[in-house]
Amino acid sequence: MLYTGKGDNGTSKLFTTPSGERLSKTHSVFEALGTVDELNSFLGILKIKCKDFYIKENNILVGELIHEVQENLFVIQAELAGSKMSIGEDKLKKCEEIISNIENMMPPIKTFFISGGTEIAAFSDLARTITRRTERSILRAKENSIEVSPNTCAYINRLSSLFYAIARLANHQAGIEEIKPSYK
């Protein structure tokens, strides 16, 4: 059944909620769970857009990379809900290595850039901003006594950099020049 009706009064519970205690759905942990879910759903769109997009120098299919990120987001949701699961250091290091590899393929960043260019770049920039909001919501939950591992916090922070790197790479591989804001 797709519904239970138990949350009709505006409450829900977590894995670790003692003796069936229910929390308000406005609790910061549910905001964090919701933003992780939103990010994961949006990444489904980005994954489809990237199905034929490779990081050429490393022969990494970006759609497969995004699928892996989606799997990791489920681990983060489980952790937020009170499971003992968390992001391992290996996943954090892999993300950092991919970011570094992409960064080494392009000119250094000297300014902000206006989002756009290719469709993949535009969608990746949107994923970056949703990731930043997700990170803020996870940190608010942590400030409200929800346990979140340091690796999980670092990983969600790196994800925004990963999506920024993918956006830049998509434009770079398409020969599209990055445009800096005029501030006029």
Bigger pLDDT: 59 vs 168: 168
What's the pLDDT at 121? Answer: 97
pLDDT attached to residue 22:
74
pTM: 0.92
Q: Which residues of 161-182 are buried (b: 16+ CB within 10 A; e: fewer)?
A: bbbbbbbbbbbbbeeeebeeee
Give, in order, the Cα–Cα distances in Å from 135 to each of 35, 73, 78, 129.
9, 12, 15, 10
Where does the pLDDT of residue 97 fall: very low under 50, low under 70, confident under 90, or very high at 90 and above?
A: very high
Over range 144-163, report the average pLDDT.
96
Look up residue 14 and give its two tokens: 């977590």
Q: Rounded to the nearest 5°, which phi and psi values hold at 61? A: -80, 115
Answer whether residue 24 shows pLDDT above 80.
Answer: no
Query: Can you point out the beta strands (E) in 4-158?
Result: 11-12, 23-24, 54-55, 60-61
Report whether pLDDT(146) > 80: yes
Mean pLDDT, residues 51-57: 88
What's the pLDDT tens digit per position in 56-78? 878 899 999 999 999 999 999 99
